């Protein structure tokens, strides 16, 4: 009879798989792995310093999240083109507008303070930092989705944000000041407690992203 795996060993395996998942997700979102790239598991495992088993587990999880797709026996980074990006922005406009309306006045002051401070730090940085830009973007939009009181809506928004994140924007640095300005307006709308104002600020930001891409 095969000896049962010790609980501690299983926890360690799960933790390793989670770390590998986070590392590969970061490589994709930072566009070090590009849409359409075939993932050569042996090379990626060597790069990350792990065996192929936790890497394969991480890739299967990423497939479920829509970051990679299966092509034959290989995993490929999902490619998002302009048409899908623009369509996703239009759907986000509806969903995030509704989430903002529901969440207006419900976001804790401490959370708002932290996100505002991080925007200020981003703008004050002596050099442009793409990862900090994306982190700030995630923080602001999480205020919209996470305090709407509707977990299904929040999940749908997170999925669509992942789709738009995979679109390889070429002028991201040019969006720093417009994004920061619009994000601060979004936060003010959420803080106001006025659902319609919050909806309008979020939708205005997403329309701005749409216009910047056409």
Q: Is the pLDDT reported for residue 105 higher than 60?
A: yes
Please report, for the chain, the start and end positions of each structural domain, with discontinuous segments joined by +: 7-77, 82-212
105: left (phi over 0), alpha (psi -120 to 50) or beta: left
Binned at pLDDT 50, 70 and 90, residue 168 comes out as confident
- Reported confidence tier of residue 78, pLDDT bands at 50, 70, 90: very high
Cβ-contact 104, 194 below 8 angstroms: yes
Taking the model in full, what pTM does it have?
0.86
The secondary element (H helix, E strand) that includes residue 69 is strand 68-71
pLDDT at residue 13, as a whole number: 64
Smallest CA-to-CA distance from 24 within 97, 75, 98 is with 75
Number of H helices, E strands in the chain: 9, 3
2-43 confidence digits (pLDDT tens): 454 554 444 456 788 899 999 999 999 888 999 999 999 999
Section 161-179 average pLDDT: 91
How many Cα neighbours within 13 Å face the side chain of 153? Answer: 21
Sequence-distant (≥ 6) Cβ neighbours of residue 181 within 8 angstroms: none
CATH class of 82-212: mainly alpha
CATH for 7-77 is: 1.10.10.10
């Amino acid at each position: 009879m095969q000896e049962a795996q010790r609980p501690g060993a299983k926890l360690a395996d799960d933790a390793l798989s989670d770390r590998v998942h986070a590392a590969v997700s970061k490589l994709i979102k930072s566009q070090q792995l590009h849409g359409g790239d075939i993932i050569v598991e042996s090379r990626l495992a060597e790069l990350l310093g792990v065996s192929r088993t936790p890497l394969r587990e991480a890739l299967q999880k990423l497939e479920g999240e829509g970051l990679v797709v299966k092509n034959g026996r290989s995993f490929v980074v999902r490619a998002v083109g302009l048409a899908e990006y623009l369509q996703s922005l239009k759907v986000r406009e509806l969903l995030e507008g509704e989430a903002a309306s529901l969440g207006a006045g419900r976001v804790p002051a401490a959370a708002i303070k932290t996100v505002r401070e991080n925007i200020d730090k981003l703008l004050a940085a002596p050099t442009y930092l793409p990862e900090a830009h994306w982190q700030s973007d995630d923080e602001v939009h999480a205020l919209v989705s996470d305090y709407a009181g509707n977990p299904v809506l929040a999940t749908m928004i997170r999925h669509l944000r992942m789709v738009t994140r995979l679109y390889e924007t070429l002028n991201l640095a040019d969006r720093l000041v417009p994004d920061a300005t619009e994000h601060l307006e979004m936060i003010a709308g959420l803080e106001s407690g006025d659902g319609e104002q919050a909806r309008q600020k979020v939708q205005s930001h997403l329309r701005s992203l749409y216009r910047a891409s056409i």
